[in-house]
Structures are given as C-alpha cells and as structure tokens.
Chains A and B, each alone.
Chain A
Amino acid sequence: MDNELDATFGALADPTRRAILARLCRSDAAVLELAEPFDMSQPAISKHLKVLERAGLIARGRDAQRRPCRLEPRRLKQAADWLGTYRQFWEASYARLDGYLLELQAKEKTHDAKKTRNHRRAR
C-alpha cells in the first residue's frame, strides 16, 4: 500500500469525516453548511476538512469566501480497488484456513483416541 492509500484510510477512520463525505455525496457544500449537523466549532470542522483534502478525498473551490468542498471520486475508487484485492487475498486465505483447521483438529482427535487406547492397554 502506498502513502496515498495510507492517508485515505487514516482519513476514513473518523466518524465525523465519514459523515462529511456522505454529505458531500449529495452535493458540494461550504464549511458552514458542513458544520451544521455537528456539535463542533467551525475551526474543528476545518481541521477535518484539511485531513480529507490532504488525503485527496475532497477538493476545495477557489472562491476565497466560501471555498466549497466537493468529493474526489478518483481517490475513493483507488482505495476501493485496493481493498477489493486485499479482501480477495484474505477471504481466500481464511476459507482455506477453515478447512485446514478442521483437518488439524480431526488429526488431534485421532491422535488423542490412540493415546487413550494405548494408555488403557498399558494398564
């Protein structure tokens, strides 16, 4: 995973930032609008926006007053693709692990049963 994806996942690990992204799915919005549903100061929201912007998940307009935010789907797609590959690798691995653990436990049982039998015989 490269640094861009690190930043993306780091940014997504926060519920406020996820809520902001969900809001931006509907339409572009300025800081004041984004701050409305949260019990948070505007500077606090601005900090979250900076994290999202640095992660490439949003872009901000040039209008100095409003600086409207919009979602950047390219980075979202990149992260979704990476996760897809990761999921495929580990889902396949865990599915094999399920079977393998069953096999190991079956072997253990046979082994234990033999031990018990031998033990009884020795007595």
Chain B
Amino acid sequence: MTPRKLEIIAEPGKTSFTTRRIVDAPRELVFQAFTKCEHLKRWMGPRSLTMVSCETDLRPGGRYRFVFRSPDGNEVGFSGEFREIVRPERIVRTFVYEPIPDAAALETLELEETDGRTTIRTTTVHKTVENRDGHVGSGLEGGMSDGYARLDELLAGLLQAR
C-alpha cells in the first residue's frame, strides 16, 4: 500500500498552515497513539531518528517534551504545554523547537472519525503572526472564502514560473 498523501494547506484566516492526513483506524486509537509515549516512540519521526526521551503530562497546563537523536549523535528537543484536551477529538498545545526557543507556536490537533477512518488535522499558528496579522486579517479577509491552497505545491509553482 502506498502511503496516503499529507496535505499541507493554507486557509484564509487560518495562519500559518494546516495539515490533513487520513488513517485507517478509529479516532480513539489515534488519540492514544498521539498522546502516549509507548506509542509515540514507535512512529513519531522518520526511522533515521530515534526518540530517546518522551514525557507527556496530558492535562491543561501539563508539559510535554520529545528528544530525538540523529545518526550522527546530535540530539534535538521539541517541547511545550497542553492548553486544552477534549478526548478523543482535540488537543491544543504550545510547541517549541528548542534550538529556536523564541519561535513558539500554538498547535491544534483535531481528530474526526468517518466510517472507521480518522482524519487528522493539525493547525499551527505562530504567535508572532497572530499578533502581527490579527488586525490585518480581520478587515481584509472577511467575505473571502475561495478556499485553501496546497502550500508546497503553490510555492513550487511560483518558483517554477519565475
């Protein structure tokens, strides 16, 4: 089976970007896979990276931290704080890529089940954009709803057209 495509899209008013992916499992199970270290260690990250440390304190205000080790021995951490948890459909958490601690983001994970399949949707909002573009967006983007763009395809297209 070829893996399903990961959609990376930009939607009006939803800075910065959204991803969508469908998996063949009920969302209760997917929720577990996204929240328990015993599961996360088995799938998160490409095979070349090893998750050497995993902590999750799944409650509002609780913290999480993942550390990955690359084949050359470098370690990199991702961490943040849970803000909202609605089992088994929604998690809102802050996200920091530790090498760049200033660029914190707010991530929303939403799981939607249809016919035993789950659509995994993530929305990543960078705080700086939220602050900076909030007022711009409110006035300009009202009434504009002609859909989302596949971000990476869009960028590739724009670069090619040059």
Contacts and interface: CB of A to CB of B under 8 A. Distances in A.
A9 B16 contact: yes
B144 interface: yes
A76 interface: yes
A90 B162 CA distance: 29
A2 B100 contact: yes
Given A7-B129, A89-B46, A14 B158 contact: no
A102 interface: yes
A87 B159 contact: no
Nearest to B160: A25
B10 A13 contact: yes
Contacts of A108: 29
Contacts of B109: none
Contact of B16 (A6, A15, A94): A6
Interface residues of B, number: 58
Interface residues of A, number: 49
Given A18-B149, A101-B25, A101-B29, A3 B159 contact: no
Interface string B1-17: 10110101011111111
Interface of A: 1-3, 6-7, 9-10, 12-16, 18, 21-22, 25-26, 44, 47-48, 51, 71, 73, 76-77, 79-80, 83-84, 86-102, 104-105, 108
Interface of B: 1, 3-4, 6, 8, 10-17, 19, 21, 23-25, 29-30, 33, 39, 42-47, 97, 100, 102-103, 105, 120, 126, 128-129, 132-133, 136-137, 139-141, 144, 146-147, 149, 151-152, 154-159, 161-162
